[in-house]
Amino acid sequence: MILPTSHIASLILLVLCLICWGSWANTFNATGKKWRFELYYFDFAIGVVIAALICALTLGTLGWDGFSFMDDVRLAGKKQDLFAFVGGLIFNLGNMLLVGAISLVGLSVAFPAGLGVAMVIGGIWSLVLGPPASLAFRLIGMLALVISVVMSALAYQAYARARLLEMIQTGKTKSTKKQISMKGVVVACVGGLFLGSFYPLLQLSRDTEAGLGPYAGGFVFAMGILVSTFVFNLFFMNLPIAGKPVEMVEYFRAKAKLHGFGILGGIVWYLGALATFVVIRAEGAARVDPSMSYLLTDGGILLATVWGLILWKELSGTDTKINYQIVLMLVFMILGLGLLSAAPAFAPK
CA–CA distance, 334 with 322 (Å, rounded to integer): 19
Q: What is the mean pLDDT of the chain?
A: 93
Torsional class of 208: left (φ above 0), alpha (ψ -120 to 50), beta (otherwise): beta
- Report the pLDDT value the prediction gives residue 129, as an integer from 0 to 100: 84
CA–CA distance, 273 with 281 (Å, rounded to integer): 13
Q: Average of pLDDT values for 287-297?
A: 91
pLDDT band, very low/low/confident/very high, at 164 (cuts 50, 70, 90)? confident
Q: What is the pLDDT of residues 3-23, one digit of tens each?
A: 899 999 999 999 999 999 999
Q: How many CB atoms lie within 10 A of CB 162?
A: 17
- Report the pLDDT value the prediction gives residue 68, as an integer from 0 to 100: 82
Give this prediction's pTM.
Answer: 0.96
Up-side HSE of residue 1: CA atoms within 13 Å toward CB?
26
CA–CA distance, 215 with 33 (Å, rounded to integer): 33
- Report the pLDDT value the prediction gives residue 32, as an integer from 0 to 100: 84
Q: Please, are residues 119 and 336 in contact by the beta-carbon 8 Å criterion?
A: yes
| Residues with Cβ within 8 Å of residue 142, at least 6 apart in sequence | 119, 120, 123, 124, 336, 340
Residue 175 has pLDDT above 90, yes or no: no
- Report the pLDDT value the prediction gives residue 258, as an integer from 0 to 100: 96
Q: What is the pLDDT of residues 234-285, one digit of tens each?
A: 999 999 999 999 999 999 999 999 999 999 999 999 999 999 999 998 989 9
**% of the chain beyond a pLDDT of 70:** 97
pLDDT band, very low/low/confident/very high, at 131 (cuts 50, 70, 90)? confident
pLDDT band, very low/low/confident/very high, at 314 (cuts 50, 70, 90)? very high
